[in-house]
Structure 1
Amino acid sequence: MLSRPSSLSAALAFALSLIAVPVVLHAQSSSSQQSSSSSGPPVQREKAPSIVDPAGPTVSLISSEPVFIMASALNACGYDEGLDESSPVRKKVRDEINGALAISEDARKKRDAACLYIAQHRMTGSERDISQYISLALYLSPPPDLETTVELTEMPPDATQVAEFAPLLKDFSAAVDLHGIWLTLRRSYDDEINTIHDPLSQMIVGTNLYLKMPASVYDGRRFVVVMEPMLSPRTVNARIYGPDYVVVTSAVNGKIRMNDVRHTYLHYMIDPLLYSRANAIDRSQPVLKTIRDAPLEFRYRSDTVALTVECLIKAIEARTMETGVPDFKIPAGVDRSDLPKYEGERHQVEARQEAVRLASVHHDTAQGFVLTQYFYDSLIQFEKDPAGLRDTIGEMVYSMDVDQQVSRAKRIQFDTEADADVLSRPKPRKLEGLDLAEAKLQTGDPASAAKLARPFLTDSNADSLQAAADSARANFVLARVALINKNPEEAAGRFKTTIDASKDPRLLAWSHIYLGRMLDLSCQRDEAVAEYKEALETRDGQQDTRLAAERGVKTAYAPVQGHTCQDDDADDADPKADPKAPAAPKPPAPKPQ
């Protein structure tokens, strides 16, 4: 039974005291508690999920009954990913559920209703389908209510898309008595938490020591790790809710994907440092033009701050990675005359270690994170300086020679496929259909993009949700093709059709932003502001959307510096002329047969 205090062991606490404020990795097994939102870096400000306790520790390791209930329902409906690698707890719960289903027709009916909903809302056939339900679970109250703890407009988009599942989950949970199963398993969950408490503590302490920053330097912000053995240990569900960072994970053989958890923790520590310097970072806009062919998510190719954050984090990961090459230690008691030989061997080992680190940097650079080498070199000096990252990050940003980085980026041969992202994790796949249309549009081939998109157009009475979604997205592609071809009337019509037909918050938001920009170019400022505000109301949840819409509300769009409403030439409506112009969001993977 977990009974350790919330503070770290004496040794770890002493180590962390070197950077002034001790981190508290509070291990507990508890149901969710409702919390309120708090201030943080300039990201989408959904209200904090109920899993976050505003009065709790800065960093916590917990379990959650609503997440357990949600994960159990997913398991009952065919979620088998990672089953062979999972904790025995997962099989035990599934057996308990199957036993309840075997003796109760009502339970089977409640299960079937829940599973039918899941089947009808399966969009990608990937972990992304599961993550939206986990996101919803983070906003549910403890049983028996299992109700959303905030208004739908205050929840992230992925959770709102399946919010109607909550009543079905409540019925299923009651029918098989998941609360009773939970109570019998609390000891097992405590044991799961115990296995990763110390490794997680050590990761956080080590990261803070490297950054020379305390974990609680930003008041009101929380980093929460939720242990849930009913989920696959192969993946980590990591997400950002305003100032709060939540990781939902599962262990295999007492270990979690610590590198993924650390990646999210680095975001938690570093995001506020760079987003507070967004205006200074915007001067690196020319870098974005060099990575158009990189296999990056759109947010990195369109947002200088997002790109800079990720490059810095990848540089830190390279500097601190386990290279697999053991450190060389000069044997004790060696003769002084032999020291040059041992020093030579030590340098050889260090050279091999550095080669491994540089290989990681080169890989990240080929992925499109072209500022990684710059930050890697800057961190070498940072490690020699007693000042923490909070005090030196400004110099790193302001000292960057943008022209030099552009020149370096132009010489890079980019990879053709992207690595998985812990905060997104789309499955790589061959581009086809609308995916390929997007790629053609981004590489300057609007004719091919239009040819690929047109077959997906349907009338407004499409007989399937997927067909309707594809048609809306095809209109979004064709609208941008029309802009490139200097046909604003067709573009506006297709953007409006997308707004009428789509339920995708990202398509809706960017359609409003494009319409706002077109209205700005037509000197219809009031109407343009209304469109930007509509974009903000869609709550896409992505920073590039929010920043573009907020800029539009504050300042009229002008793709050419010095453009005013006295300029009649609006040729620059071509979105490729604007580094912030979006592509459609990365589409879902095809549903498996």
Structure 2
Amino acid sequence: MGRSNSTRAPKVVLIRRLAFFLASLLFYFAGPVCAPSLAANQGAPQSSGENEFSVSVTLFSTLAAINAAGYDAGMDSPLNERYRVRTQVREALAKRNIACLPEFQAFYKEHKKASDTADLSQYISFALVAGDAPKFDLPAGPLPPDVEALKGFSDLLARFYKEADLESLWNRSQAAYAAAMSEYQEAVIGTLFEANGYLRNPSGYLGRRFQIYLDLLAAPDQVQVRNYRDDCFVVITPTSTPVVDEIRDAYLAYLLDPLTFKYSEVIKDKKPLQKFAQEAPALDLAYKDDFSLLVTKCLIKAIDSRLMHGGSEKRQAFVNEAMREGFILTAAFADLLPTYEKQQDAFRLYYPDLVSAVDVSKEQKRLKKIDFVQTIAPRVIAPPAKMQLEPADQSLITAEGLYEQHNLDEARKTFKKVFEQTNDKARQGRAWYGLALIDLEEKHWDEALDLFQRTIDATPNSAITAWSHYYLGQLALKAGDSDKATAQFKLTLATNGASAKAREAAEKALQSNTGEQNQ
């Protein structure tokens, strides 16, 4: 896996040391500080986006199964000896009497791709959308194309999990996974802090999640990225070189992609520059075809240059390389970012000003002088094509952006459009939640109470459900019902998948209300 030529500035060391201290308390990272209580602040809450670094039993089970079925890529790497998990799992499975193994081997052979990377990629996609062990059920509705092609794999994996007793192998592997996580977590969490700091991003988008998984059963030196509806996943395997640049870039894409939907009209004004990207021989076709995707990638590269340590010459060389590769707006954004850095707005609010400031005529003159390279060394495994956003999903992203910009009237109208666009309870639940936050900010307490309850009934996702219980608790306190408030705070803590921020908020509220300390 090739690497970009950036190193971190010295000030980032302090951030990473702080991150490592926090990571020693938690095995995952969630955004800072909880939302304010109504008693202290009548404004709207912080969003409940989550960012985590962890391991996955579904990913472990999927990759264990394909190892038994014939997946051998990277077995000669010394990194396999470093952790030994892959070798030990393969040896254990080889000794077990697994009745469905011949059927599994036939399935694997039938679906084998031309390259090891493509072969692995489809099974990682499956593991990221499938449910937990032991059933590994797939969600209803449209699936990623590479998962759709694995029809029947879910049932077969469920049989393999039981017959091979993968649960025992998973439990036996926990110590090795914990040791590996400890090696990566300081750098991983530090780079997320770094990106949040630059973008002045205190929390994620409503109901969205950025999830990093480490797995030890695939070929080493893999970084695979997926964007599925509200969530972004990064899967890393043991690496011979650091992967923080790839992780940071994936996280920046996760934060910046929604802005291209919100400000599509601003971006459209710069589309005359797209023809230059289409002439770049080495640029991936996805960037040539999707101008908004190209804009985001160019902006990420420009941010990379601003975070790079080594002086202006090194930064300029990095920008020049990106331009020659076909990322045609990198130089423009790199020129404009210092102005952003000197003002006070968060990046999500400054974004339209930044894009608007790109001078098309000036950039056309600059691009006519660029000598594009013929090839680009791969730096990260390209993700499969993104799933097409449904109208309701696009409305939710737009409405949440309007809410963050405090444009409450337009946000309310856009949230309400979701109910006309879909009957899906989870999507409607996100819309109820957004409407509840608006009523909360406007001090419509009774309406907010009703909408938070509707949110819970729709169960959009665990993060939003947990926050809804928390705000119902705060509303109960405001109404003078201490017992009901206590019950709601406890429901927040009892919600599987509640974010660290929600738990912290509920624990503080519970302690303040009753003196109880959650254990």
SS at match of 2:305: helix
Work out whether residues 25 and 57 of structure 1, in 8 Å CA contact, stay in contact via their aligned partners in 2. no
Please identify the structure whose Cα radius of gyration is greater: 1
SS at match of 2:270: helix
Aligned counterpart, 1:227:
214
1:277 aligns with 2:269: no
Give distance in 2, aligned partners of 1:381 and 1:135.
Answer: 40
Unaligned stretches of 5+ residues in structure 2: 1-13, 30-46, 388-519
Give distance in 1, aligned partners of 2:76 and 2:131.
Answer: 27
Aligned counterpart, 2:326:
368
Work out whether residues 287 and 402 of structure 1, in 8 Å CA contact, stay in contact via their aligned partners in 2. yes
In the superposition, relative to structure 1, how do residues 155 and 361 fare at CA in structure 2: closer, same or farther (>3 Å)? Answer: same
Give distance in 2, aligned partners of 1:193 and 1:137.
Answer: 19
Aligned counterpart, 1:27:
27
AA aligned opposite 2:245: N
The 10-residue stretch of structure 1 (191-200 or 92-101) with the greater mean CA deviation from structure 2: 92-101
Aligned counterpart, 1:128:
118
AA aligned opposite 2:270: S
Give distance in 1, aligned partners of 2:176 and 2:49.
Answer: 23
**Higher RCO (Cα < 8 Å, 6 or more apart):** 2
Give distance in 2, aligned partners of 1:290 and 1:378.
Answer: 20
In the superposition, relative to structure 1, how do residues 276 and 165 fare at CA in structure 2: closer, same or farther (>3 Å)? Answer: same
Work out whether residues 238 and 423 of structure 1, in 8 Å CA contact, stay in contact via their aligned partners in 2. yes
SS at match of 2:84: helix
Cα deviation, residue 252, structure 1: 3.9
Aligned counterpart, 2:199:
211
1:393 aligns with 2:356: no
SS at match of 2:64: helix
Aligned counterpart, 1:241:
228
AA aligned opposite 2:218: L
AA aligned opposite 1:204: L
In the superposition, relative to structure 1, how do residues 118 and 200 fare at CA in structure 2: closer, same or farther (>3 Å)? Answer: same
AA aligned opposite 1:59: N
Work out whether residues 314 and 364 of structure 1, in 8 Å CA contact, stay in contact via their aligned partners in 2. yes
1:197 aligns with 2:200: no
Q: 2:58 aligns with which of 59, 66, 81?
A: 66
SS at match of 1:291: helix
Give distance in 1, aligned partners of 2:74 and 2:335.
Answer: 40
Q: Deviations over 1:511-566 (max 9, x none)?
A: xxxxxxxxxxxxxxxxxxxxxxxxxxxxxxxxxxxxxxxxxxxxxxxxxxxxxxxx
Give distance in 2, aligned partners of 1:413 and 1:357.
Answer: 19
1:159 aligns with 2:147: yes
Give distance in 1, aligned partners of 2:275 and 2:24.
Answer: 43
Q: Deviations over 1:368-411 (max 9, x none)?
A: 11110000111122223333322322111112111221222222
Q: Deviations over 1:423-454 (max 9, x none)?
A: 6179xxxxxxxxxxxxxxxxxxxxxxxxxxxx
1:3-402 alignment runs, 5 A limit: 27=27, 58-76=50-68, 77-81=70-74, 84-86=77-79, 88=81, 91-102=84-95, 104=97, 107=98, 110-148=100-138, 150-151=139-140, 153-216=141-204, 218-252=205-239, 256-294=242-280, 295-323=282-310, 353-402=311-360
Q: How does the TM-score come out when normalised to structure 1? A: 0.55
Work out whether residues 212 and 233 of structure 2, in 8 Å CA contact, stay in contact via their aligned partners in 1. yes
Cα deviation, residue 73, structure 1: 1.9
Work out whether residues 221 and 244 of structure 1, in 8 Å CA contact, stay in contact via their aligned partners in 2. yes
Unaligned stretches of 5+ residues in structure 1: 1-10, 17-21, 30-54, 324-352, 427-503, 507-593
Cα deviation, residue 231, structure 1: 2.1
Work out whether residues 49 and 203 of structure 2, in 8 Å CA contact, stay in contact via their aligned partners in 1. no
Give distance in 2, aligned partners of 1:359 and 1:198.
Answer: 29
SS at match of 2:275: helix
Q: Which has the higher helix share?
A: 2
Give distance in 1, aligned partners of 2:183 and 2:312.
Answer: 32
SS at match of 2:173: helix
Cα deviation, residue 88, structure 1: 4.5
Work out whether residues 281 and 397 of structure 1, in 8 Å CA contact, stay in contact via their aligned partners in 2. yes
Give distance in 2, aligned partners of 1:377 and 1:207.
Answer: 19
1:514-593 alignment runs, 5 A limit: none
Runs of 4 or more off by more than 4 Å in structure 1? 11-16, 22-26, 87-90
Work out whether residues 79 and 238 of structure 2, in 8 Å CA contact, stay in contact via their aligned partners in 1. yes
Aligned counterpart, 2:368:
410
Cα deviation, residue 256, structure 1: 4.9
Q: Deviations over 1:95-144 (max 9, x none)?
A: 3443443353xx2x533322322222223313122111111112223322
Cα deviation, residue 81, structure 1: 2.0
Work out whether residues 73 and 116 of structure 2, in 8 Å CA contact, stay in contact via their aligned partners in 1. no
Cα deviation, residue 322, structure 1: 4.1
Work out whether residues 23 and 215 of structure 1, in 8 Å CA contact, stay in contact via their aligned partners in 2. no
Q: What is the percent sequence identity of the aligned residues?
A: 25
Work out whether residues 333 and 358 of structure 2, in 8 Å CA contact, stay in contact via their aligned partners in 1. no
Q: How does the TM-score come out when normalised to structure 2? A: 0.62
**Number of corresponding residues:** 353
In the superposition, relative to structure 1, how do residues 102 and 412 fare at CA in structure 2: closer, same or farther (>3 Å)? Answer: same
In the superposition, relative to structure 1, how do residues 82 and 413 fare at CA in structure 2: closer, same or farther (>3 Å)? Answer: farther
Aligned counterpart, 2:423:
none
SS at match of 2:216: coil
Cα deviation, residue 70, structure 1: 0.9
In the superposition, relative to structure 1, how do residues 141 and 15 fare at CA in structure 2: closer, same or farther (>3 Å)? Answer: closer
In the superposition, relative to structure 1, how do residues 201 and 188 fare at CA in structure 2: closer, same or farther (>3 Å)? Answer: same
